[in-house]
Amino acid sequence: MKKETHHECCAHHGHHHELVIEGLSAAYRDILALDKISMATSCGNRVALIGPNGAGKSTLLKAIAGLIPRKSGEIRWRGTSVKKWSREFAYLPQREEIDWSFPITVRGLVNMGRYPQTGWWRKFSQEDQAAVEEALKSLDLKELEHRQIRELSGGQQQRAFLARAIAQEAHVLLLDEPFTGLDRNASILLGDLLEKLAGEGRLIIASHHHLDSVPKLFDEVLVLKTQQVSFGPVDSVLTPALIKETFEV
Amino acid sequence: MFEELLSSPFYQRTLAAAAFIGFTNGFFSGFVVLRKNALSVSALSHTMLPGIAIGILVTGYLSQWNAFFGALFAALLVGLGSVAVARGKRIAEGTSLAVLYTAAFAAGVAILPKLQTSAELEHWLFGDIMAAGDTDLWIVFSIGVVILIGSNLLMRPLLLTLFEPNVAAAQGVPVRAMQYAVFVMLVLALVSSLQAVGCVLTVGLLVTPAATVSLLTDKTSALFWGGGLVGGLGSVAAVLISTPLGISPGPAIVLLLGILFILTYLFSPKYGVLVPKKYFTSLK
């Protein structure tokens, strides 16, 4: 089922956009967090970033999102530097990095997704309203739209942030540990949702720490340990030998 | 006698000043509440006193203008200085602000005895809205207009910055500039309420209104406009009741807003601690 949607790319714009990372290194002060990462993937894929704690999974997501400067290397989307395309990238931080007490409703959050389109001043057009409605509906948040974001379950919170990404019309979703803290049902729902979003032509890159569920949830996997251990389709990369090498110190 | 008072242009001017100062400060209190560091506002407000003292020392006399510029200068220096020091990431903003504001306050305390006009300083400590002259009103009005226009023009990038600074930066919002903008407007708001409530109590006007509204609603925009309404109406009501009760309007404003906050904290339909949660869920 997942192979059908795989590479049947970008249904809503009919192009085949590529994300290419070449020799990417990033550091916090003097500590190297990512060392010469190279990979290429395209929309329609779900890419898992796995590796032990401190392997640089979050750093890689942040570097792609442009949240931290890179030390060297390049990240290209549609053939040019990602900087130009910030509007097409949506980044969902780890749960603990979000200020859940911020007085904002689900609808308010999804509205924020339109800001890159509206700019600082333009009033919300009918198109903006429609995009917000559509995002709320497609993620089944219509009934929860007036809830403050802390009054949602973990799965609903993930959906609210995904709805914002969809309202933003993002092509690349960068998710930091999206499955963490979700119960079984919520995980299954989120897995199905990511499959649907990828099926519609989005590129999904998520850090993940449950090795067992990688084959079910993702198409490709990048194994990290500051340096790149391996990258490719899930079944050819995740060999027992490689898992042992990466996760055992 | 009260009617007579109400019809006097002097009293009407006081009420207008209270309404306007209350509204702008209440509106801006939305940002203070979202920034979650109301105590730093308190630090800044205390900085204004030495600022006024230095203004008098430099110019040799006390007037609205040198008090205004002294307060503005000191608060900007300390406020922006603390943001700049905190940018080094080695020292948290609260830490640098605490260091700089106590140093400034110490300078103020050292200078105070050397001034001829120190008795009049009480007026700036606790405010005296009844004594507001035309110049004061114009200063307050201009600052209010700048704050209201500025914060509305920058509302979206400011909210993005306050909610998720990282994500905002990635979307091209000049986060650093936005943080400075909030600070500058904050200092302007503090200075604008000097006349009404004095530099010690300005914090009340700049925190309480939106804090009260945040107990009633989850809509972000309501924090600002609701805060403005609470601040404006609360200030006018406080001035009106302060006369018959024989208390000064400045403390009356902050006290009334504080009482409103406590009542809301207890009885807010949604978040009130004395309101059974069942009541709310059954409403849905």
What pLDDT was estimated at residue A211? Answer: 85
Contact (CB<8Å) A93/B218 = no
pLDDT greater than 80 at residue B2: no
Contact A22, A73 (CB under 8 A): yes
Closest residue in chain A to residue B164, using alpha carbons only: A98
**Which of A46-50, A224-228, B120-124 shows the highest mean pLDDT?**
A46-50
Look up residue B115 and give its DSSP letter: -
How close does chain B come to A60, measured CA to CA in Å? 14
CA atoms within 13 A on the CB side of B74: 31
- Say whether residue A94 is in contact with chain B using an 8 A CB cutoff: no
In angstroms, the CA B173 to CA B178 distance is: 8
What pLDDT was estimated at residue A181? Answer: 86
Q: What residues of chain B lie within 8 A of the CB of A124, using their CB?
A: none
How close does chain B come to A196, measured CA to CA in Å? 25
Contact (CB<8Å) B170/A67 = yes
What pLDDT was estimated at residue A1? Answer: 37
Q: For the segment A135-176, what is each residue's pLDDT rounded down to a tens digit? A: 999 999 999 999 999 999 999 999 999 999 999 999 999 999
DSSP annotation string for chain A: -HHHHTT---TTT----EEEEEEEEEEETTEEEEEEEEEEEETT-EEEEE-STTSSHHHHHHHHHTSS--SEEEEEETTEEGGGGGGGEEEE--GGGS-TTSS-BHHHHHHHTTHHHHTTTPPP-HHHHHHHHHHHHHTT-GGGTTSBGGGS-HHHHHHHHHHHHHHTT-SEEEESSTTTT--HHHHHHHHHHHHHHHHTT-EEEEE---GGGHHHH-SEEEEEESEEEEEEEHHHH--HHHHHHHH--
Q: For the segment B154-181, what is each residue's pLDDT rounded down to a tens digit? A: 999 999 999 998 888 888 899 989 988 9
Domain boundaries, chain B: 2-269
Q: For the segment B10-54, what is each residue's pLDDT rounded down to a tens digit? A: 888 889 889 999 999 999 999 999 987 788 788 888 888 888 888
**Domains within chain A, CATH numbers bracketed:** 2-104+169-247 (3.40.50.300)
Q: For the segment B52-75, what is each residue's pLDDT rounded down to a tens digit? A: 888 888 887 777 778 788 888 888
Q: Output B243 or B145, whichever has higher pLDDT.
A: B145
Q: What residues of chain B lie within 8 A of the CB of A66, using their CB?
A: 169-170
Contact (CB<8Å) A121/B153 = yes
Class of domain B2-269 as given by CATH: mainly alpha
What is the mean pLDDT of the segment spanning B200-223? 91
- Say whether residue A112 is in contact with chain B using an 8 A CB cutoff: yes
Contact (CB<8Å) A99/B223 = no
Contact A175, A183 (CB under 8 A): no
Contact B135, B11 (CB under 8 A): no
Determine which of B36, B161, B220, B280 to mutate to test the interface with A (most A C-beta atoms within 10 Å).
B220
Question: Over the Cα atoms of chain B, what is R_g?
Answer: 19
